[in-house]
Structure 1
Amino acid sequence: MTNPLSDPLQQGYVDYFYDQAGSSPGTLTIDEDASPTRIVVIDYNPHQARRIIVEQPEESADYLTTETVSWIDVQGLGDEDILRRLGQTFDLHPLVLEDVVNVPQRQKVEDFDDQLLIIARMVLPHPEGVGFVSEQVSFILHQQALLTIQEEPFHDSFGPVRKRIRLQKGLMRKMGADFLTYALLDAIIDGFFPVLELYGERLETLEDEILDNPTRETLNQVHSLKRELMNLRRLSWSQRDALSALLREDSPLISQEVKVYLRDCYDHSIQILDMVETYRDFAASLMDVYLSSVSNKMNEVMKVLTVISTIFIPLTFISGLYGMNFNPQVSPFNMPELSWYWGYPAVIATMLLISGSLSYLFWRRGWFSKVSP
């Protein structure tokens, strides 16, 4: 059974429940390492788009009543006062604020009549190139505004969406806040593919290494890869369930036209889950390949030792036979070769002839070409 404390994501859930045990509903738990909170607003319509840095949470309330589409992006969870004031400004239920601030939470969708809460998990390649990092992104959809709350201020998958808004590409500036929600969710789902591509390359590299020179370090890398893929599977599975719930949700905040796009996003999430399952099976098969490769390597070594032993068996017999040291003058049975002048050279020549003949026989059968030290 896997130790939950060995899994960083699982460790986050364990720490969260330990910290929240016995606390009252709506309690906010701010991580000491959480990034400072800042609020960035992107307000746009078909004719223009502007980006505003909001200093006070109360200022963002004005964007709820405008005819333009407003994306209020809250980056960082380090300032409890700003987060509480933000909750009051947007009339967030204390339990909703608790869910978006106390991370990590399981991906889910909840309808609050005039608000729609969506909790997703963003996955990005690890900065060091091995594994992945993930952060929670919470969506609170209003009629003409979308509030997003991210853990980190500078690392996300939303760059292409911001670019499409700025350059007026596609349907971004022509659609409402629900289409913006779809675009951001689609960016999160698409962020899984670069991570999976890196895992595919790692699996191919490990396969080649196992076939060429399997070591204990290679086995440790396979175990580590399996644990990472298990974590990625849990994230992608929950993400798919959340998107499925969003499609089933009959909310007036999401139009039927946007639901068509969300179905495409849901299909991508299924594709991601299939790829993760394939990679997990591949990683599991690498264990069998490792054991088989180690076994074959041991068999090759045993072949070499067997060939060498086979050559030396008759030589050992001859040397043992003439090393019994019976006195020919005492025993009625003697070895004529012991008193023969050419006896010793003849025995050595016989031993060389036998070893040479056996080596030639093994070579003709192709045994030497099939063994490697």
Structure 2
Amino acid sequence: MKKIKTFKTTWVDIYNPKKEDIKYLEEKYNFHPLILEEIIPPSQRARVEQFDDQLYLVLYFPVFNKKTRLTKIRELDIIVSKKALISTHYKTILPVKALRTRCHLYEESRVKYMNRGPGVLLYHIIESLLKASLPKLDHITEKINKIEEKIFQGHEKDMVSEISIVKRDILNMAKAIKPQKSLINSLSSVAPKFFGSRYKIYFQDLEGSYDYVRSILDNQQEMINSLEHTNASLLSNKISEVMKVLTVVSFITFPLALIAGIFGMNVFSSHAFAKEPLTFWMILTSMLVLAGTMTIIFKIKKWL
């Protein structure tokens, strides 16, 4: 548990909350029992609820692991009163940790983020989470651009798995970001009544930040779906070309195999034609002429 206090705001940040932490919050800040019951265990959906003079928020934040190439979702619970803000989480959330560290170390940060009340601190926490999503979205955009480049360089087969990985990243990002829309919209209407009308502009700004992040995510979904369709079309076209060549080659070699099979039967061994010294060369020449003629015809028709 980390605590930072100014004359207007007290910020308590709790990592991996336990029953004793809940008891401390109940005794020290007299939070509503329904709110405290929600902190343990983790929640399943983003939301904002008001209990008398207290707000309870559940936020989700995407975290990308470079080693596993997986995007996971981190939950952040926030309780806000007129004088205090309590944040609880089960995993480290870097934007929140960075903001808390700045407030702990620097007076100017405490003045900027905490000396105008819990409403401004809440705004900056959510804003930092939204801004922290942008580098992850930029990373996805870079991967999409590389996939596009590779597709048109003839690496369609290799890109099938890469497209699947990027689609999984976008899906996980969407799981974290899309549910925040209703929360931010609700907060935009609830916060001015709870904190005061002068705070309205802060939470309207959050709506703009969210829309910007959401628009990037939606564009990425459209791009990767289009690339997947294009890649599938090119791959299918390549397979069709291979099948066409194999079919033509089979069509050329089948008559030759038939001729060789017929003249290879024992029934022709006693025939006078089979005993002629030029028979082998005559058959071979006819087979070559037939194969060449068919090849020329196929090339004229652009089947080869």
TM value normalised by structure 1: 0.67
User: Superposition pairs for residues 40-189 of structure 1, below 5 Å?
Assistant: 40-44=2-6, 67-77=7-17, 79-126=18-65, 128=67, 130-152=69-91, 154-159=92-97, 161-162=99-100, 165=103, 166=106, 168=108, 171-172=112-113, 175-189=116-130
- Give the corresponding residue for 1:268: 209
Distance 1:120 1:328, change over 3 A: closer
- Of 282, 290, 300, which residue of structure 2 is paired with 1:354? 290
Contact kept? 1:123, 1:192, Cα under 8 Å: yes
Query: Partner of 2:183: helix, strand, or coil?
Result: helix
Contact kept? 1:99, 1:105, Cα under 8 Å: no
Contact kept? 1:141, 1:147, Cα under 8 Å: yes
The alpha-carbon deviation at position 105 of structure 1 amounts to 3.8
Distance 1:328 1:245, change over 3 A: closer
Aligned length, in residue pairs: 299
How many Å separate the matches in 2 of 1:167 and 1:214?
56
Asked whether 1:298 is paired with 2:234, we answer no
- Give the corresponding residue for 1:345: 281
Please list the CA deviations of residues 129-161 of structure 1 after superposition, one character each: whole Å capped at 9, or x if unmatched: 512222221222222332222223x43212553
The alpha-carbon deviation at position 199 of structure 1 amounts to 3.1
Q: Percent identity?
A: 22
Contact kept? 2:9, 2:115, Cα under 8 Å: no
One-letter amino acid of the counterpart of residue 70, structure 1: T
How many Å separate the matches in 2 of 1:316 and 1:271?
67
How many Å separate the matches in 1 of 2:268 and 2:3?
109
Query: Partner of 2:76: helix, strand, or coil?
Result: strand
Distance 1:167 1:365, change over 3 A: farther
Asked whether 1:191 is paired with 2:132, we answer yes
Please list the CA deviations of residues 63-95 of structure 1 after superposition, one character each: whole Å capped at 9, or x if unmatched: xxxx34332222222x31232122221111111
- Give the corresponding residue for 1:26: none
Higher relative contact order (CA 8 A, sep 6+): 2
How many Å separate the matches in 1 of 2:269 and 2:180?
92
The alpha-carbon deviation at position 299 of structure 1 amounts to 1.3
The structure whose residues are more often helix, as a share, is 2
Please list the CA deviations of residues 283-324 of structure 1 after superposition, one character each: whole Å capped at 9, or x if unmatched: 445554454344323312212212312332443454356456
The alpha-carbon deviation at position 365 of structure 1 amounts to 6.5
Greater alpha carbon shift after TM alignment, 206-215 vs 349-358: 206-215
How many Å separate the matches in 2 of 1:173 and 1:189?
19
One-letter amino acid of the counterpart of residue 53, structure 2: D
One-letter amino acid of the counterpart of residue 240, structure 1: K
- Of 174, 179, 192, which residue of structure 2 is paired with 1:233? 174
Gaps of 5+ in 1: 1-37, 45-66, 369-373
Contact kept? 1:125, 1:194, Cα under 8 Å: no
Gaps of 5+ in 2: none
One-letter amino acid of the counterpart of residue 91, structure 1: N
